[in-house]
Amino acid sequence: MKVLVTGGAGYIGSVVADELLQAGHQVVAFDNLSRGHRQAVPKNAELVVGDLADRAGLDQLLRSRAIDAVMHFAALIEAGESMKAPQEFFRNNTANALTLLEAMLAAGVKRFVFSSTAALFGNPERTPIEEDDRLQPTNAYGESKLLVERMLTWFHQIHGLGYASLRYFNAAGASRPDKGEAHQPETHLIPRILQVALGRTKHVNIFGTDYSTPDGTCVRDYIHVSDLAHAHLLALHALENSPKNSSPLIYNLGNGQGFSVRQVVEVARNVTGHPIPVIESPRRPGDPAVLIASSEKIRRDLGWQPRFGDLKSIVESAWQWHRAYPNGYPD
Ligand code: UDP
């Protein structure tokens, strides 16, 4: 298939692009390079630099490249930032997704894989979280993605769009020593911890130590980026092979195991041999206390199995990347 990967120069999109190529698909990576990196795009993919807000550009792209399916990663992702500038999240994540869906509709592209998030669930009613549990985001980032999921149900029902929505818990790790997480600014826990181990910052802040969790810090379910990427391939193939109008594929993706912020710091101390000083700081607005996935459904339906399920190997792979590329990609 010829797959358009929006955000193909980004952390997860670029790894999925690698996997698509390995599986024999053709990839057109679409990215405005506001956050992504040209060097992250696989050599065998075409990179088109453009913006999702540009409807005419999208129309032209979908038609001229005869795109069969779209995987949509391009988005703002920092939950904390979304509580300062929600408008940017609704513009970039929600409005731009609608523009993309409209362009797909006009071009007759009927397969869509959406990069969704555990942030849809807010403070969950139970753990581990199943797909049908209540959706009630506690931050604007989660809301901006939930609105897209809602639109997708209507595009499916009314226009027959076949789609998968993959709700990632905490994506982490590196697929190769020369390909990893390089956000600017970096807000995510594991890379921030590793920046301390590299000597680039003096300490890591622990945002909130008074949550009702065993050690008072937030608990998250970390999942290796290569395991996420593999799930995208399985979802795409399921869409390719499923009959018209079959039900949407909605899956939670995590390892089903939670680690507190303090536990992640401890694992990173073991992996890096650095003491990694911490400063206990106030809560970050919008953070749910505990987010742990049940991924039983995707295991059952698509046979997905994580290959790098333990936190130590996730942190080790991230550490290899950060040590080799302490400044991220050289652009
Ligand atoms: N966190 C932290 N210090 C940091 C960055 C993150 O204590 O420098 C916490 C954050 O409050 C959350 C967890 O680590 O509880 C994971 O945050 P991250 O931003 O990596 O992912 P999120 O869960 O927001 O998607």
Q: Which residues are catalytic?
A: 141
> Residue 321 CB: number of other CB atoms within 10 A?
22
Percent of the chain with pLDDT over 70: 100
Alpha helices in 24-139 (DSSP H): 55-64, 79-82, 86-89, 96-107
What pLDDT score does 244 carry? 81
pLDDT of residue 330: 80
CA of 189 to the centre of ligand 1 (A): 5
Give the architecture (CATH level 2) of 189-220+256-324: Alpha-Beta Complex (3.90)
- Residue 243: what pLDDT? 86
What's the rounded mean pLDDT across residues 13-41?
A: 97
Question: Which residues of the chain does CATH 3.90.25.10 include?
Answer: 189-220+256-324
Angle between helices 261-272 and 189-197 (to 10 degrees): 40
Residue whose CA is closest, atom 20 of ligand 1? Answer: 188
Instruction: Please report, for the chain, how many H helices and E strands are present, in that order.
Output: 11, 14
Ligand 1, atom 6: closest residue by C-alpha: 189
Superfamily of the domain at 2-172+223-253: NAD(P)-binding Rossmann-like Domain (3.40.50.720)
Mutate which of 195, 204, 220 for ligand 1 pocket (most atoms within 8 A of beta carbon): 220
Do the bridges between strand 170-172 and strand 222-224 make them parallel or antiparallel, or are there none, so unpaired?
Answer: parallel
- Give yes or no for a contact between 164 and 251, defined as CB atoms under 8 angstroms apart: yes
Q: What is the pLDDT of residues 42-80, one digit of tens each?
A: 999 999 999 999 999 999 999 999 999 999 999 999 999
For residue 170 and ligand 1, the question of a CB distance below 6 A is answered with yes
Please list the residue range(s) of the chain that carry CATH number 3.40.50.720: 2-172+223-253
